[in-house]
Amino acid sequence: MENSTKQAPEQAPQPSSEQLMELMAMLKARALSGIITSFRSPNIIFGMTALTRLITHLDNNLEEGERRVLIIADDFTEKYANLISNMLSKVNIEAKIWAGVKPEGPTYTLDEAAKICEDYKPKVFLAIGGGSVLDTTKGLMVRYEKPEMDLFSISPLAPLGIRKKLKYYIAVPTTSGTGSEATLASMLTDMRFDPPKKFTVSHPELIPDYSFLITDFVKDMPPFLTMATGLDALAHAAGSYVSTIGTPFADAMNIYAIKEILKYLPRAYKYGAKDIEARSHMQIAASMGGLGFIHSRVGIDHALGHSMGKVLNVHHGLCVGLFLPYTLAFQRKISERWKDLCPLFGINSKDKNDDELFTEFLQSVKDFIHSMNGPVCVKEMKNPVITEETYFKNLDLLVQYAITDPVAYMVGRYIDNDIIKRIFEYAWDGRTIDF
Ligand SMILES: [Fe+2]
């Protein structure tokens, strides 16, 4: 006789964090047989007419009853939001501005914006800003369309079922680095931790439908922001090129992004708004770096950088740029892909053994960062200054946040607390990773 007391079905045992890390370290699948077997990109519109084309696109494609746009911005980009709102009103598109995005997307801001969406019922999200604005918009898409969904447990492999309320997500980046305008990923801040901790919401349905690269909106970035966001783009492209997962599509994006960054970032840093060509190329390079890393995986620099960013309050791009040389040396033990990058830095490999060549390559990466007053070790940092005492007092917390960071699982080598701790120690005074 059948037992009338129904028991909840037993859940399949879930792999532990350690098991996941070991599994990812074993997946040396840089080939068409790898785990990434598609290439997804938004429609990217760039060049002198991008702003006009943004307005024309919405005018031509929004039907009556759909002409409601929520423009998402922050304090710095509200001026651009106002400009676009005025342009939209001239073609009879209603726009509401929510400029409440906070740096790195703390989750409470999503609740605030979701309430506005409930009343306003926008058909378009138009995000204008840096990574925080673009990433917050991705989180908000989920909150708006699926309020019951737990943001902390979204799987990129299961359908999300959004775009029932929204017709378009349009991204307009105002920095050149995060690549968020081209990717499915968003980094937000979990406020349940003290200090707050980064978490990721990633899903193919969160890729913007369109990205408009409007050079006028990035030309006035100050030198520090230009350098730090540009180094973020470099870390995406170089860190993922030397990883062990990827495809020729990702490689093409990363190699060309690195070439562009090496040529145009120092110019954008030095000449700012006077060098529109450099600004424009950096916008494209940042999107290419985004497309590169999202179809492979970022380096260990991003796990360490996310941690240092939160624990010691340092700009994301500055952190990941600082840790990039450590990624390159760490990956060298399992891959020779770094050799492909030497010619991009103008390094001739003739008559040099691997050690000599790698030393020259690593020095070139550091020289490039130094050329824009960027740091390559923590001791060198000026914005902010971190004392040896503060750094080592926080070392255990830095390790804990890095090892549990969402992108730590994507590192192509086995890592544990001791290894992460050693990398942090080496990064204090710039020692080359030799393990
Ligand atoms: Fe990044």
* pLDDT value of residue 30: 60
**To the nearest 10°, the Cα dihedral for 207, 39, 45, 184?**
20
Q: Do domains 43-217 and 223-429 have the same CATH topology?
A: no
Could you tell me the CA-to-CA distances from 40 to 292, 310, 392, 412, 435 in Å, in that order? 11, 30, 41, 22, 36
Reading the chain (435 residues) residue by residue, the pLDDT tens digits are 344 444 444 444 555 556 656 666 566 556 555 667 789 999 999 999 999 999 999 999 999 999 999 999 999 999 999 999 999 999 999 999 999 999 989 999 999 999 999 999 999 999 999 999 999 999 999 999 999 999 888 888 888 999 999 999 999 999 999 999 999 999 999 888 888 888 889 999 999 999 999 999 999 999 999 999 999 999 999 999 998 888 899 999 999 999 999 999 999 999 999 999 999 999 999 999 999 999 988 999 999 999 999 999 999 999 999 999 999 999 999 889 999 999 999 999 999 999 999 999 999 999 999 999 999 999 999 999 999 999 999 999 999 999 998 888 777 788 999 999 999 999 999 999 999
Say how many Å lie between the CA of residue 232 and the centre of ligand 1: 5
30 bridge partner residues = 246
Angle at alpha carbon of residue 407, lines to 405 and 412, rounded to 5°: 125
| Residue extents of the structural domains in the chain | 43-217, 223-429
Residues within 5 Å of ion ligand 1, judged at the Cβ atom: 232
CB of 276 closer than 8 Å to CB of 219: yes
201 CA distance to ligand 1 middle (Å): 14
Query: Ligand 1: distance of its center to the CA of 296 in Å?
Result: 14
303 CA distance to ligand 1 middle (Å): 10
- Tell how far the Cα of 213 is from the centroid of ligand 1, in angstroms: 18
Residue 316 CA, ligand 1 centroid: distance in Å: 7
Domain 223-429 has CATH 1.20.1090.10: yes
Report how far ligand 1's centroid is from the alpha carbon of 154 (Å): 20
Is the pTM higher than 0.75?
yes
User: What is the 95 CA–ligand 1 centroid distance (Å)?
Assistant: 30
CA neighbor of 281 nearest in space, from 47, 44, 1: 47
Which helix H or strand E contains 201, and what residues bound it? strand 197-202
Vertex 237: Cα angle to 233 and 241 (nearest 5): 165
143 C-alpha to ligand 1 centroid (Å): 24
User: Which CATH number among 1.10.150.120, 3.40.50.1970, 3.30.420.40, 3.10.20.30 corresponds to the domain 43-217?
Assistant: 3.40.50.1970
CA of 179 to the centre of ligand 1 (A): 8
